[in-house]
Structure 1
Amino acid sequence: MTWEDAVRWCMSEPSMKELARAAYFDDPVVAAQRYHESAEFDAIRSMIPRKVGRALDLGAGNGILSYALAREGWSVTAVEPDPSALVGAAAIRTLADKTGTRINVIEAFGEAIPLSAAGYDLVVARQVLHHAHDLPAFCCEVSRLSREGATFLSLRDHVISGPQQLEPFLRSHPLHHLYGGENAFTLAAYRAALQGAGLTIDREMNSFQSVVNYDPMTASEIRERLAAVFRPVSGLVRTALFPLPFGAVARAAALLDRRPGRLVSFLCHKQGKG
């Protein structure tokens, strides 16, 4: 199957209906509007520059993040290699047309983007870095197309502790068995690629440390997930942690979380010449 085939199957399978909606694979316009109002994008809004300018959305998929940024006043260019009318470039163009939103769409891979060093103020990549065929080259393109001091935000990328965790992650992914396109890197690999491209990591958000990694789940649903994460920990530790505010528990859980395919997000900026 292609990625589009896998998504169509997910949308049509009754047992996958909630997953499809959570991944914003339902009605394109409704999904984009819902994402703009989501807790994830609210958190993103707090991390990106207040002064709007030119934004580059790499691996833009069906365009939900491009749409949200455009709604906030950003001048958005979406880069997406898949021409699909459901999950790719054609879907973004249709979304822009139906909503009257201006989004420039370029069909290209993130490792070789046919743009001059255009000096974007903001570069975003949602659920994209772990798909890179050449992670360092991808990050170098981010840096090349960013102005000095620009913000780069990578969101919801899969992490493994080492090569031994890759196969368990791929087996557990709900769609990988259909189209075979998933991947994951270690935290060290992500950090090295970002820093090697001249990007400074300002904030690393692991597992439950930020809503960008777990939205649309709620805090109460996350507490249930955390109970599973903490199951191997002694009862004394659990008794001490779980009465604490959710933020404190989430931070502690992120330190202990070693699941194959757990999520990480990075907030970075491009270093200046000085």
Structure 2
Amino acid sequence: MQGDPNHKEMLKFAFLNGKPGQSFEIYYHSEEFKATKEIVDTVERKSGRMLDVGSGIGVTSVAFSLQGFHVDAVEPETGPLTGRKGMEDLIEEVSKSCSLQLAMHTGYLSEVNLPPGYDVAICRQVAHHFADPVRDLSQIRALLRPGGKAILIRDHVIYDDEDKERFLREHPMQSFYKGENAYKKEDYVRFAEEAGFEVERVISFTESPMNYWPSTAEQIAIVGENVAGRPYSFVLKNPELPITGEAEAP
């Protein structure tokens, strides 16, 4: 697939072309990162820690480390295109000119020992791959501080079984590794609530470049949601601890 010129642009913007430095520069200056940062900036920084679940080659991890977060990047893959080797190459390149606070952890979240207290957890194009979404979201919530937020970014949404069949048929990667998946919007909300989250915001496909970049708002205005597996994003809040010890009103 990498040698096919028909897939060159798709791989470039999916950060799958084997050029982590280029991928980072594209992401860091993208409308998607700008929109994601706007949401992250609404979260009060108490610990200054961010969890990046399914970090891939680390473009989001490095981007938010440059914003002052100490980032723990968790990724089970180890190769150069989607995993640890790609992240190592990216960190080496960026570290030549910038100081990063970033730790890599190879494995699934359940296999990695991390202390709780994160302000933010980022899951970019990850939640639709969870083997057990409620379990995995529960693990993420357990690592957040009270009031911390998880941001699920660019998760595929389908309307019904027929729409899912269309999505799997049209997704360019599905024929290569058979690992794609999608859920209804209501399913993501249910998974999050069953995991103990408060669903603070559902961001539809056409609402934000978090979902439709590298397309433009003008292009999306023409097609609307008529896109197979249109990505949505979700902002989830770990509930605040109840306030105790206050005197009851008479």
Alignment TM-score > 0.5, same fold: yes
1:182-261 to 2 correspondences below 5 Å: 182-226=180-224, 257=225, 260-261=228-229
Q: For 1:164 and 1:192, locate their aligned partners in 2 and report how far apart those are by CA, in whole Å.
A: 21
1:1-274 to 2 correspondences below 5 Å: 9=1, 11-26=2-17, 27-49=19-41, 52=45, 53-100=48-95, 101-110=100-109, 112-226=110-224, 257=225, 260-274=228-242
Q: For 1:215 and 1:134, locate their aligned partners in 2 and report how far apart those are by CA, in whole Å.
A: 28
Query: What are the Cα deviations for residues 148-167 of structure 1, in whole angstroms up to 9, with x where unaligned?
Result: 00011110000122334322
Q: For 1:128 and 1:45, locate their aligned partners in 2 and report how far apart those are by CA, in whole Å.
A: 18
Report sequence identity in percent.
Answer: 30
Mapped contact 2:13–2:23 kept (Cα < 8 A): no
TM-score normalised over the length of structure 1: 0.80
Q: Which amino acid in structure 1 is aligned with residue 178 of structure 2? A: G
Query: What are the Cα deviations for residues 186-206 of structure 1, in whole angstroms up to 9, with x where unaligned?
Result: 112211111111211111011
In structure 2, stretches of 5+ residues that fail to align are: 243-250
In structure 1, stretches of 5+ residues that fail to align are: 1-8, 227-256
How far apart are residue 77 of structure 1 and its match? 0.6
Query: What are the Cα deviations for residues 217-256 of structure 1, in whole angstroms up to 9, with x where unaligned?
Result: 1122223323xxxxxxxxxxxxxxxxxxxxxxxxxxxxxx
How far apart are residue 70 of structure 1 and its match? 0.8
Q: Which amino acid in structure 2 is aligned with residue 93 of structure 1? A: E
The two structures, once aligned, show a CA RMSD in angstroms of 1.7
Mapped contact 1:160–1:187 kept (Cα < 8 A): yes
- Higher-helix-fraction structure: 1
Mapped contact 1:146–1:270 kept (Cα < 8 A): yes
Q: Which amino acid in structure 2 is aligned with residue 192 of structure 1? A: R
Q: Which amino acid in structure 2 is aligned with residue 202 of structure 1? A: E
Number of equivalent positions: 234
Q: Which amino acid in structure 2 is aligned with residue 268 of structure 1? A: L
Q: Which moved more, 1:48-57 or 1:167-176?
A: 48-57
Q: In structure 1, the residue corresponding to 2:168 is in which secondary structure?
A: helix
Q: For 2:157 and 2:108, locate their aligned partners in 1 and report how far apart those are by CA, in whole Å.
A: 21
Q: In structure 2, the residue corresponding to 1:56 is in which secondary structure?
A: strand
Q: For 1:55 and 1:61, locate their aligned partners in 2 and report how far apart those are by CA, in whole Å.
A: 15
How far apart are residue 113 of structure 1 and its match? 4.1
- Structure 2 CA distance for partners of 1:127 and 1:148, relative to 1, 3 Å: same
Q: For 2:3 and 2:36, locate their aligned partners in 1 and report how far apart those are by CA, in whole Å.
A: 30
Q: Which amino acid in structure 2 is aligned with residue 23 of structure 1? A: A
